[in-house]
Amino acid sequence: MKRILLISCFLLFLLSCRKEEILPVPPPKQEVDIFTISESEVSDGEDIMFKLTSDSTYVLKLVDKVSGQVISKEKIKGIIGVNKIKIYTKSLPAKYLYLVLEDGNKKEMNKTTIIAK
């Protein structure tokens, strides 16, 4: 009985002394105002961030860069400071797009180029 206990303790010790595999942790993605960059790649379901100076209703449009045709248009309730929205690119017919931010009077406030992945 002592022999079995001693062998099982020895095996347990051998199995527990394996080298632990440590996977590298990717650095967190820095949040940058999308309108401060002239061109950026956006993946499906990715959050984009932009800053606003007033609380109001805004319109975000995705415009095909080649044809100039509006592909998507969404009204958002913007707040002062940082605003985040999720952008979905999987179903978009074009790869190169303009992301346009308009105020309530349809005045273009910001514009940037995005590449849909």
With respect to residue 22, please indicate whether it lies within any of the assigned structural domains: no
Total number of domains in the chain: 1
Per-residue pLDDT of 59-99, as tens digits, reads: 999 999 999 999 999 999 999 999 999 998 888 888 899 99
Whole-prediction pTM: 0.72
- DSSP bridge pairs for 16: none
With respect to residue 60, please indicate whether it lies within any of the assigned structural domains: yes
With respect to residue 35, please indicate whether it lies within any of the assigned structural domains: yes
What is the span of the domain harbouring residue 49? Answer: 31-116
Note the pLDDT of residue 29: 67
Q: Work out the pLDDT band at 22, boundaries 50, 70, 90.
A: confident
Q: Work out the pLDDT band at 17, boundaries 50, 70, 90.
A: low
With respect to residue 93, please indicate whether it lies within any of the assigned structural domains: yes
The rounded distance, in Å, linking the Cα atoms of 15 and 19 is: 10
Contact by Cβ (8 Å): 76, 100: no
Contact by Cβ (8 Å): 52, 109: no
CATH number at residue 35: 2.60.40.3110
Note the pLDDT of residue 38: 93
